[in-house]
Amino acid sequence: LVMFAGVNYYTGQAYDIKSIAARCQEHGIPFGLDLAHAAGNLDLELHEYGVDFAAWCTYKYGNSGPGAVAGAFVHERHAHNQELVRLAGWWGNDPATRFQMDENPEFIAQEGAEGWQVSNPPIFSMAPLHSSLSIFAEAGMAALRERSMRLTGYLEQQVKAIGSSHYQIITPSEPHRRGAQISIRVLGDGQALQSSLADAGIVTDFRPPDVIRIAPTPLYNTFDEIHRFAAVLEQKARVETGQGGD
């Protein structure tokens, strides 16, 4: 089994899923994906790539909120395999035998995706996801991905223009090799920097020991917001080097 992430949560690197899937198929190795940082971020074609299975949350780029419904993918070639171990929920059972309460009931999975259902969907958790997915459908993932690469490209340019040795970008420079994220290694107190950015109204994320993640999301973040972030970051760098004050 090969189990991979679609996007590295720490560096923001987007992996070549298509090539990895092809190599796994050459050697007959099942290929699974953790798409927590890729769903709603990359333009994915899991079926065409030949990925065997994948799972993801929707509270990140899916805009659904904490505790919302997750997602799963199982390739169509496995859809009719009754031998696969799965959560045997009553919604996934064949409707013809679903309510046959025998002494020794047997789970008979429905064919296709329906056979992976477990129970009733949580309606209130589905509502924000339904709204979010309708926006994604209207915008289109190809257009969002194109805008995402332009946003991260501008962010990378702005950070490098600061010219500070206090900041080192650890995310790949090639646009197709990253998601909607730039990770910066901070020389100094990264957590304090993250807090001061928050005080300036800029939401970032700190990951020990020294990395701040910035995620310009193409659905709603703007180039002007990136410019403002870079201006604040440059000001903080001047403070660190004693060239200016808050």
pLDDT averaged per 10 residues, the chain (length 246): 97 98 98 98 97 96 91 90 85 90 83 86 92 97 98 98 94 97 95 95 96 98 98 88 60
At the fourth CATH level, the homologous superfamily of domain 141-240 is Aspartate Aminotransferase, domain 1 (3.90.1150.10)
- What is the per-residue pLDDT for 121? 87
What one-letter code names the amino acid at 231? A
Rounded to 5°, angle at Cα 54 from 50 and 56 = 145
- The residue with tokens 């998601």 is 179
- Give me the CATH code for the 2-139 domain, please: 3.40.640.10
- The residue with tokens 């899991």 is 46
Helix (H, G, I), strand (E, B) or coil at 96: coil
Distance between CA atoms of 167 and 154, rounded to whole angstroms? 16
- What is the per-residue pLDDT for 244? 59
- What is the per-residue pLDDT for 236? 87
Terminal alpha carbon distance of the chain: 52
What one-letter code names the amino acid at 74? V
- What is the per-residue pLDDT for 139? 97
- Please report which helix (H) or strand (E) contains residue 89, including its range: none
**Residue 218 burial by CB count (10 A; 0-12/13-18/19+): exposed, middle or buried?**
buried
Say what the alpha-carbon torsion angle 3, 70, 62, 15 is, to the nearest 10 degrees.
0
- What is the per-residue pLDDT for 85? 83
For the entire predicted model, the pTM comes to 0.90
Under DSSP, the state recorded for 178 is B
Domain boundaries, the chain: 2-139, 141-240
Spell out the residues 6+ positions from residue 48 whose beta carbon is closer than 8 angstroms to its own: none
- What is the per-residue pLDDT for 106? 86
Helix (H, G, I), strand (E, B) or coil at 109: strand
- What is the per-residue pLDDT for 172? 98
- Please report which helix (H) or strand (E) contains residue 209, including its range: none
- What is the per-residue pLDDT for 112? 80
Q: Report whether 36 contacts 56 (CB < 8 A).
A: yes
Question: Identical fold at 2-139 and 141-240?
Answer: no
- The residue with tokens 């189990």 is 3
